[in-house]
Structure 1
Amino acid sequence: MKIQVASVDSLIIYFADVISKENSLKVKSAYKCLKALNNKAFIEIIPSYTSILITYDIFLYDFYSLRNMLTKILDNLPIEKESSQNLIKIDVYYSLEVGLDLQRVALHSNLSIDEVIKLHSSKIYDVYAIGFLPGFAYLASVDEKIKTPRLKTPRKKIPKGSVAIADSQTAVYPKESPGGWNILGRTAFNFFDKDLEALSPISIESKIKFNPICKEEFLSQGGII
Structure 2
Amino acid sequence: MSEGRESSVRCFAVGEAAACLQLPPSIQGEGQARLLALAQRLRAEGGFVDVVPGWGNLTVLGDPARHSADRLQAAVLAGWRAQAAQALAPPRERVLRVRYGGDHGPDLTAVAAAAGLSEAQVVRAHSEAVYTVAFLGFQPGFAYLMGLPPTLHMPRRAEPRLRVPPGSVAIGGAQTGVYPAASPGGWQLIGRTDQVLFDASAAGPEQACWLQPGDRVRFVVEAGGD
Smaller-chain TM-score bracket:
0.7 to 0.9
Unaligned runs of 5+ in 1: 219-225
- Structure 1 Cα separation of the partners of residues 217 and 138 of structure 2: 19
Tell me how far 1:116 sits from its aligned partner.
0.5
How many Å separate the matches in 2 of 1:89 and 1:108?
A: 27
Q: Does 1:34 align with 2:73?
A: no
Task: Indicate the percent of aligned positions where both proteins have the same amino acid.
Answer: 26
Partner of 2:110: 104
Aligned with 1:183 (options 189, 201, 211): 189
Equivalent of residue 13 in structure 2, options 5, 9, 13: 5
Q: Where in structure 1 do 4 or more consecutive aligned residues deviate above 4 Å? A: none
Distance of aligned partners of 1:20 and 1:68 in 2 relative to their CA distance in 1, 3 Å threshold: closer
Q: Distance in 1 between matches of 2:115 and 2:75?
A: 49
Match of 1:50 among 56, 65, 76: 56
Amino acid at match of 2:65: F
Match of 2:175 among 169, 174, 188: 169
Structure 1 residue aligned with 2:213: 204
Aligned partner of 2:145 in structure 1 is 139
- Write out aligned runs for 1:17-96 (5 A): 17-18=25-26, 20-39=28-47, 42-77=48-83, 78=85, 80-81=87-88, 83-84=90-91, 86-96=92-102
Give the structure with the higher percent helix.
2
Taking only aligned residues, the RMSD between alpha carbons, in angstroms, comes to: 1.8
Q: What is the CA–CA distance in structure 1 between the aligned matches of 2:19 and 2:88, rounded to whole Å? A: 27
* Conserved? CA contact 1:90–1:210, under 8 Å: yes
Write the letter of the residue equivalent to 1:72: A
Deviations 1:106-155 (A, max 9, x none): 00011111111111000110111111111100001211222111112211
What is the TM-score when the length of structure 1 is the normalising length? 0.88
Q: Report the count of equivalent residues.
A: 213
Partner Cα separation in structure 2 for residue 172 and residue 71 of structure 1: 33
The amino acid of 2:186's aligned partner reads G
TM-score (norm 2): 0.88
Residues in 2 aligned to 1:151 and 1:188: alpha-carbon distance in whole angstroms:
24
- Structure 2's unaligned 5+ residue stretches are 1-8
